[in-house]
Structure 1
Amino acid sequence: MKAYIFPGQGAQFTGMGLDLYQNSPLAQELFEQANNILGFSITDIMFEGSAEDLKQTKVTQPAIFLHSVILAKTLGEDFKPEMVAGHSLGEFSALVANGVLTFEDGLKLVSKRALAMQKACEAQESTMAAVLGLEDTIVEEVCASIDGVVVAANYNCPGQLVISGEITAIDKACAALTEKGAKRALKLPVGGAFHSPLMAPAREELAEAINNTVFSEPMCPVYQNVVAKAVTNADEIKENLIAQLTAPVRWTQCVQAMIADGGTEFVEVGPGKVLQGLMRKIDRNVTASGAGN
């Protein structure tokens, strides 16, 4: 079975989407529509902005969403997903691609999510750290033993887990994880503790927007980050999407579930090749390619 996977924050690059805009009238139309919906020219920042410009949360998340969704739409008849999944923000791209959300509603929710997360980050100083070379259970145990908020946030692939929380708790956890034998426990250049309890204010804001948005039944199962299994019920999809902001991204488990359910060919749709790299570390027996940048 063919699975389409959609990247999350961190996949952005200067010039992203420009080739799509120049080579596809449909892409051009959708990008212009996005500028109108957002109320600013995101295309100017995507096509010509600096890496620093693209790092603004209000830009990064919609930019990656737009690149992914518009690329999927330009594939036309070739785009026939039998299963989809997205990493964190990428879950919104996956839901537009499989017919649950319209392009316009998806973009509005992503923009709302980005602004709500930015506000939560500003309310409390927090961060994330990548932990390499340890079993998940050891990382979880160390996080549980630390005073303060620090939790496992992204299960990216075996031996690569990102933790999230208060800065002092993250510092203590990194020291303890290094003692436990982690190859690296390194703070990431992010503005906040995504997928942790510290995102609760953002979750409340996003919940209201999601509950006021029409979610259709999907054309194929979506493997959601929170539950790491196939979901086809629109109400369940909503609940999981709201929970995602404060719950871990179980990416390794999502991919394993897709493979167990018959996924053999994985296509990454969006900027960069991050997910293709993770695929090879999760299971070398399936093919992973990109739909083009």
Structure 2
Amino acid sequence: MTSRTSSVSSGSPGSPGTQSGCLAMFAGQGSQRPGMAGHLLDTYPAARRLFARADEILGLPLSRICVTGSKEELARTEITQPAIAATSLAVWDLLSEAGYRPAAAAGHSLGEYAALTAAGTLSLESALELVRLRGRLMGEVARESPGAMAAVVGLPADKVLAACAGAEGVGVVQVANYNEPLQTVISGHARAVGEAGRAALDAGAERVVTLDVGAPFHCSLMQAVEEEFTRALAAQPFADPVLPVISSVTGTRIRSGEEARELLRRQLTQPVRWVDVLHTAARHPVSAYTEIGPGRVLSGLARRTLGDVDIRSTGDPRRLKALHDALAP
């Protein structure tokens, strides 16, 4: 699925991963792992400052959880979401201090909150408070209306949509993520997701992988918490972005703070259009891609969507130090 073109920068491409020709990609849920911020807090004062502030804002020992927390503790979505956001923003702060100046930013679902914070649209306080509430509300949906998500691999998105349509009589099942041209995630009632997955296999999918998540994200089942989250969004200040941000809801540039607020509301029930995000960036002066935060999920999606492009990740000590050192004067 494609979307209209929108410029993300007026500059020219810079050196790989370090200057104005780069897209900063902020990690989403699923990138968490035990110890994911240990190297940050051990090595970088900027990270220690950010985590101290996050602990204070949330009244949670987030810095401890991101260093010594168990896999089970990090899997609680009300913990997962602020933990990933804080880790990503700690990486952003230390790279920014070293001179990192991307052409644009984008975030995969949850990662959009970090992208908007990097762009000056949200304060750290607002972003962390919103993602903590978002995680709690999503957890409530999981407890009250258990669902499932599955990744369909090796089948074009239009055929995945057809598989979902064929399972409508069983329950809710919808596309949740357009992650790459041949990887589409579906979400909804567990039985309907299973039926759509079997139909996708019959249509030629290589495999269907059930995801280890606690809720049916990015589908109409999330409407149950939309009203409460909309009130929370309305209570937070949103500024116009000073760095171009490409929306994961539309795949196009966010033009104002008010548009960002509305898109975060829509994000609860709408699919993540990550393929469109990458294509929008690639059509403009972006020639390199940096994954900001834990893991390397987005690096893989970018490579499989765009082919042979310059991609750097920051999710482990070696890769982060290499980029940080390249930026340092």
Shorter-chain TM range is over 0.9
Counterparts of 2:288 and 2:60, CA distance in 1: 37
| Structure 1 runs not aligned, ≥5 long | none
User: In the alignment, is residue 190 of structure 1 matched against residue 213 of structure 2?
Assistant: yes
Amino acid of the residue matched to residue 272 of structure 2? Answer: V
In 1: Cα distance, 2:315 partner to 2:148 partner? 32
**CA-CA distance at 1:292 after TM superposition:** 5.0
d(CA) in 1 for partners of 2:157, 2:285: 25
Partners of 1:220 and 1:232 within 8 A in 2 = no
Name which of 84, 88, 110 aligns with 1:64: 84
Contact residue 296 and residue 315 of structure 2 kept, 8 A: no
C-alpha distance after superposition, 1:211-270 (max 9, x if no partner): 111111111221111110111211111111110010000001111111112211111110
Conserved in 2, the CA contact under 8 Å of 1:87 and 1:249?
Answer: yes
Aligned ranges 1:190-269 → 2 under 5 Å: 190-269=213-292
Structure 2 CA distance for aligned equivalents of residues 172 and 248 of structure 1:
20
Question: The residue matched to 1:266 in structure 2 has which SS?
Answer: strand
CA distance in 1: counterparts of 2:40 and 2:182, whole angstroms: 35
Q: Which moved more, 1:147-156 or 1:25-34?
A: 25-34
1:152 to 164, 175, 178: 175
Which is worse superposed, 245-254 or 168-177?
A: 168-177
What SS does the corresponding residue of 2:213 show, helix, strand or coil? coil
Report the number of matched residues: 293
Aligned CA RMSD, in angstroms, stands at 1.2
- Structure 1 stretches of 4+ moved >4 Å: none
| Contact 1:134 1:182 survives alignment (8 Å) | yes
Please name the residue that 2:44 is paired with: 24
Q: Structure 2: which 5+ runs fail to align?
A: 1-20, 317-329
Are the aligned partners of 2:153 and 2:182 in contact in 1 as well (CA < 8 Å)? yes
How far, CA to CA, are the matches of 2:224 and 2:122 in structure 1? Answer: 24
Partners in 2 of 1:253 and 1:136 — Cα distance?
A: 12
- SS for the counterpart of 2:209 is strand
Aligned to 2:63: 43
2:284 is matched by which residue type in structure 1?
D
CA distance in 2, matches of 1:225, 1:237: 11
Give the structure-2-normalised TM-score.
0.86
Paired position in structure 1 for 2:22: 2
- With 140-149 and 4-13 compared, the bigger mean Cα shift is at 140-149
Asked whether the 8 Å contact 1:266–1:288 carries over to 2, the reply is yes
Corresponding letter in the other structure for 2:146: E
Percent identity at matched positions?
Answer: 38
Distance 1:140 1:235, change over 3 A: same
Provide the residue aligned with 2:321 in structure 1.
none
Q: CA deviation at 1:98?
A: 1.1
The one-letter code matched in structure 2 to 1:205 is: E
Contact 2:163-2:197 within 8 A present in 1 as well: no
Q: Which amino acid aligns with 2:57?
A: I
User: 1:126 maps to which residue?
Assistant: 147
Which residue of structure 1 lines up, in the alignment, with residue 131 of structure 2?
110
Which letter maps to 1:217?
A: D
The aligned runs of 1:282-293 (5 Å cut-off) are 282-291=305-314, 293=316
Code of the residue aligned with 2:34 in structure 1: it is T
Q: CA deviation at 1:77?
A: 4.2
TM-score normalized by structure 1?
0.97
Question: Which stretch of the first structure deviates more once superposed, 260-269 or 162-171?
Answer: 260-269
Tell me, what secondary structure is at the counterpart of 1:231?
coil
